[in-house]
Structure 1
Amino acid sequence: MDRNNYFRRNLIIVLTIIVLLAISVDLTRSQFLYQKTNHTLLNDGLGYRSSKTESKAADFDRAAVERYLVVYNPDEDASDTLKNNIVQTVRYLKREVDEVKASDLKHVSLENYDTVIIAERDLSDIGILDKLMLYGEQGGHLFFATRPEVNDAMYQIYRKLGIVELGAYVTTTGVKLNTNILLQGKDKSFSGNFISNSSTHVQLDKTSTIHAISSEHVPLLWETGIGKGKVAVFNGTMLVDKASRGLIAGAIATSHEDYMYPIMNTKVAFIDDFPTPFYNVESQEIHKAYNRTVPAFYRDIWWPDMLQTAKKYDLKYTGVLIKTYNDKVEPPFDDPKGTQQSSLIIYGRELLKNAGEIGLHGYNHQSFANSVKVTETLDYKPWTSISNMVAALQLVKSYMEQIFPSYEMHTYVPPSNVLSDEGREAIKQVFPNMKIISSVYHEDFVAGIAYVQEFGVAKDGMIEMPRLSSGYGMSESDQWAMINAVSSIGAFSHFVHPDDVLDSKRNGGRTWEEMYREYNDMMSKIKAMYPWLRSMTATESGIETMHYTQEKIRIDHTQDGIKGYVDGFTGDLYYLLRTDKKIKILKDCSVEEVDKGVYVVRVKQNKFEIGLD
Structure 2
Amino acid sequence: SISTTEFYTRQWWPDIKDFFKRYDIPFTSYLIFNYNQDVRAPYTEGEFYVADDTVTVTTAREILSTTGRLGFHGYNHVSPTVHKTKMNKVAWPSLAAIKEGWTVARQTWIRLFGEYSLPFSYVAPNNVIQDEAIEILHEVFPSIKVVSSLRATADDETVHEFGPHPTIPDLYFIPRQTSGYVFTSFVRYLIASSISGSGIWSHFIHADDLFDPYRSEGKTWDQLKGDFHKMISFVKQQYPWIRFVDIREAYQTLRWIDATGIEFNWDEERTTLRVESTEPGLLVRIRTNAMSLRELDGAELVHRYSRMPVVIVRLTKPVHRFVFRPDR
Smaller-chain TM-score range? 0.7 to 0.9
| Paired AA for residue 327 in structure 1 | Q
Q: Which residue of 2 aligns with 1:572?
A: 281
Partner residue of 2:109?
400
State how far apart, in whole Å, the 1-side matches of 2:198 and 2:63 are. Answer: 27
Deviations 1:170-225 (A, max 9, x none): xxxxxxxxxxxxxxxxxxxxxxxxxxxxxxxxxxxxxxxxxxxxxxxxxxxxxxxx
The percentage of aligned residue pairs carrying the same residue is 25
Measured in 2, the distance between the counterparts of 1:351 and 1:338 equals: 16
**Residues 1:322 and 2:32 aligned together:** yes
Q: Output the CA distance in 2 between the equivalents of 1:384 and 1:608.
A: 56
Counterpart selection for 1:453 from 138, 160, 175: 160
Amino acid at match of 2:292: K
User: Which of 145, 166, 177 matches 1:435?
Assistant: 145
What pairs with 1:57-96 in structure 2 (closer than 5 Å)? none
Indicate conservation of the 8 Å contact 1:465/1:545, yes or no. Answer: no
Deviation at 1:566, TM superposition (A): 2.3
Equivalent position amino acid for 1:586 in 2: D
Match of 2:314 in 1: 602
Aligned to 1:495: 204
* In 2: Cα distance, 1:538 partner to 1:437 partner: 10
Give per-residue Cα distances to partners, 1:416-462, cap 9 Å, x unaligned: 10011232122011012312111111215xx2x10011111121222
For 1:337 and 1:484, the matched residues in 2 are separated by 39
User: Amino acid of the residue matched to residue 547 of structure 1?
Assistant: W
Distance 2:292 2:69 in 1: 42
Change (3 A) 1:338 1:400: closer
3-state SS in 2 of match to 1:378: coil
Residue aligning to 2:292: 581
Whole-Å separation in 2 of the counterparts to 1:566 and 1:478: 34
CA shift, 1:322, in A, is 0.6
Residues 499-520 of structure 1 show CA distances to partners (whole Å, capped at 9, x for unaligned) of 1112233322221111111111
Structure 2: gaps spanning 5 or more residues: none
Alignment partners' CA distance in 2, 1:612 and 1:347: 54
Label 1:609 to 1:455 Cα distance change in 2 as closer, same or farther (>3 A): same
Q: TM-score, normalised by structure 2?
A: 0.87
Aligned to 2:190: 481
Note if contact 1:590-1:602 (Cα within 8 Å) is conserved in structure 2: yes
Separation (CA, whole Å) in 1 of partners of 2:162 and 2:293: 33
AA partner of residue 422 (structure 1): E
CA contact (8 A) 1:416 1:450 kept: yes
Q: Secondary structure at the match of 1:535?
A: coil
Aligned to 1:525: 234
1:337 Cα deviation from its structure 2 partner: 4.7
Which residue matches 1:370? Answer: 82
Any conservation in 1 of the 2:83–2:92 contact (CA below 8 Å)?
no
For the residue of structure 1 that corresponds to 2:312, the secondary structure is strand
Cα 1:531/1:351, change in 2 over 3 Å? farther
Do the aligned partners of 1:318 and 1:356 also contact (CA within 8 Å) in 2?
Answer: yes
Q: Distance in 2 between matches of 1:525 and 1:409?
A: 31
* 1:304 pairs with 2:304: no
Asked if 2 retains the 8 angstrom alpha-carbon contact of 1:365 and 1:415, the reply is yes
For residues 590 and 353 of structure 1, the distance between their equivalents in structure 2, rounded to whole angstroms, comes to: 38
1:356 to 61, 68, 71: 68
Asked whether the equivalents of residues 33 and 47 of structure 2 are also in contact (C-alpha less than 8 Å), the reply is: no
Classify the secondary structure of the residue corresponding to 1:473. Answer: coil
Counterparts of 2:56 and 2:249 in 1: how far apart (Å)? 22
Which residue of 1 is the match for residue 217 of structure 2? 508
* Alpha-carbon distance between aligned partners in 1 of 2:216 and 2:17, rounded to the nearest angstrom: 20
Residue 120 (structure 2) aligned to one of 397, 403, 410: 410
Equivalent AA in structure 2 for residue 392 of structure 1: G
Would the aligned equivalents of 1:368 and 1:422 in 2 still touch at CA under 8 Å?
no
Alpha-carbon distance between aligned partners in 2 of 1:389 and 1:430, rounded to the nearest angstrom: 10
Number of the residue aligned with 2:273: 562
Q: What runs of 5+ residues in structure 1 fail to find an aligned partner?
A: 1-286
Provide Cα deviations, 1:86-125, integer angstroms capped at 9, x if missing partner. Answer: xxxxxxxxxxxxxxxxxxxxxxxxxxxxxxxxxxxxxxxx
- Equivalent residues of 1:325, 1:364 under 8 A apart: yes
Q: 2:251 aligned with 1:539, yes or no?
A: no
What amino acid does structure 1 have at the position aligned with 2:137? I
Deviations 1:217-248 (A, max 9, x none): xxxxxxxxxxxxxxxxxxxxxxxxxxxxxxxx
The Cα shift of 1:332 comes to 1.0
What is the CA deviation profile of residues 276-299 of structure 1, one whole-angstrom value per residue up to 9, with x for unaligned ones?
Answer: xxxxxxxxxxx2xxxx21111111
Counterpart residue number, 2:180: 471
1:594 CA drift (Å): 3.9
Return the alpha-carbon distance in structure 1 between the equivalents of residues 22 and 239 of structure 2.
Answer: 15
Quickly say closer, same or farther: Cα 1:379–1:438, change in 2 above 3 A. closer
Q: Deviations over 1:154-173 (max 9, x none)?
A: xxxxxxxxxxxxxxxxxxxx
Higher relative contact order (CA 8 A, sep 6+): 1
CA change 1:303–1:555 in 2 (3 A) is same
What is residue 336 of structure 1 aligned with on the other side?
46
Alignment partners' CA distance in 2, 1:346 and 1:523: 28
Cα contact 2:87–2:157 (8 A) shared by 1: no
How far off is 1:472 after superposition? 0.8
Equivalent positions of 1:128-139 (< 5 A) are: none
**8 Å contact kept, 1:530–1:594:** no
Larger Rg: 1
Matched residue count: 314
User: Contact 2:123 / 2:147 at 8 angstroms: preserved in 1?
Assistant: yes
Q: Which residue number in structure 2 is paired with residue 426 of structure 1?
A: 136
Closer, same or farther: CA 359–561 of 1 in aligned 2, 3 Å: same
Partner Cα distance (1:492, 1:583) in 2: 30
> Does the CA contact (< 8 Å) of 1:326 and 1:338 recur in 2?
no
Distance 1:349 1:335, change over 3 A: closer
**Mapped pair 1:385 → 2:97:** no
Task: Give 1:605 deviation, angstroms.
Answer: 4.2
**Residues 582 and 354 of structure 1: is their aligned pair in 2 closer, same or farther, counting only changes over 3 Å?**
farther
CA distance in 2 between partners of 1:479 and 1:337 (Å): 37
**Contact (CA 8 Å) 2:73, 2:122: kept in 1 or not?**
yes
Return the letter of the residue paired with 1:355. Answer: T
